[in-house]
């Protein structure tokens, strides 16, 4: 099993923070990484978990690393793999190596369960109207499953493209080349349903916001 340089990871993220507008999550991330340098792993795990649950992909990677190493919390390969998969879908490059290592040490049944939990998590983000999850759902079917599912990947990238998500149209068109014509038509119909489902949620939220604004104005 490969060993991972956590300190080098910290350097990368500190560098990115110094050239960006600092947010509350940035501050928390820095606190957590400082805790790691001070070997206060329990405190670091607590903060990274909070950020990870808020879909901060770099924090998901760090949390997965600490859990897989048993630093600040007991080792749990299935939990670490869950967070590692999510960070991989969030384009954290080091996560791919970590997921490969963890896949090697968990039983097939556990691996299947973790993949199902990852999909459930992504779909819950879709249900909440998180547009950022659309390409992650597409990538789930291309990167996380043992065998690539081009049909469902096409579905989600088609929705993402319709909503203007960057680079999604290019990937959709590449995936389309892997599908038969009748399958393309079937998945286009399925993606239209998902598109309407997503946009109807957006419309409902906008109406709620307008009503709230009107109420505040009247008061």
From CA 79, how far away is CA 122, in angstroms rounded?
16
The token pair that represents 160 in the structure block:
């993402």
From CA 150, how far away is CA 137, in angstroms rounded?
12
pTM: predicted TM-score of the whole model, two decimal places: 0.84
Q: What is the pLDDT of residue 207?
A: 47
Q: What is the pLDDT of residue 203?
A: 57
Q: Tens place of pLDDT for every residue, the chain, 219 residues?
A: 323 344 444 433 443 444 445 688 999 999 999 999 999 999 999 999 999 999 999 999 999 999 999 999 999 999 999 999 999 999 999 999 999 999 999 999 999 999 999 999 999 999 999 999 999 999 999 999 999 999 999 999 999 999 999 999 999 999 999 999 999 999 999 999 999 999 997 655 554 444 554 444 454
Residue with tokens 């990115």: 16
Q: What is the pLDDT of residue 60?
A: 98
Q: How close are the terminal C-alpha atoms of the chain, in Å?
A: 63
Q: Report DSSP letters for 19-61, one per residue.
A: TS---HHHHHHHHHHHHHHTT-HHHHHHHHHHHHHTT-HHHHH
**Over the Cα atoms of the chain, what is R_g?**
20
The token pair that represents 101 in the structure block:
């290592």
Residue 49 · residue 62 · CB < 8 Å: no
Q: What is the pLDDT of residue 23?
A: 83
């Amino acid at each position: 099993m490969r060993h991972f340089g956590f300190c080098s990871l910290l350097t990368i993220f500190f560098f990115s923070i110094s050239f960006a507008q600092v947010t509350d999550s940035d501050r928390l991330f820095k606190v957590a990484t400082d805790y790691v340098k001070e070997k206060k792993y329990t405190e670091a795990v607590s903060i990274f978990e909070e950020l990870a649950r808020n879909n901060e992909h770099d924090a998901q990677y760090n949390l997965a690393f600490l859990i897989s190493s048993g630093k600040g919390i007991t080792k749990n390969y299935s939990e670490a793999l869950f967070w590692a998969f999510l960070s991989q879908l969030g384009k954290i490059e080091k996560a791919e190596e970590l997921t490969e290592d963890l896949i090697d040490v968990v039983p097939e049944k556990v691996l299947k369960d973790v993949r199902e939990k990852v999909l459930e998590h992504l779909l819950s983000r879709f249900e909440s109207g998180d547009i950022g999850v659309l390409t992650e759902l597409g990538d789930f079917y291309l990167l996380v499953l043992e065998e690539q599912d081009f049909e469902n990947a096409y579905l989600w990238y088609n929705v993402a493209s319709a909503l203007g998500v960057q680079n999604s149209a290019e990937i959709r068109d590449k995936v389309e080349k892997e599908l038969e014509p009748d399958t393309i038509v079937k998945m286009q119909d399925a993606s239209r349903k998902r598109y309407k489902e997503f946009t109807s949620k957006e419309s409902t939220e906008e109406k709620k916001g307008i009503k709230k604004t009107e109420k505040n104005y009247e008061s």
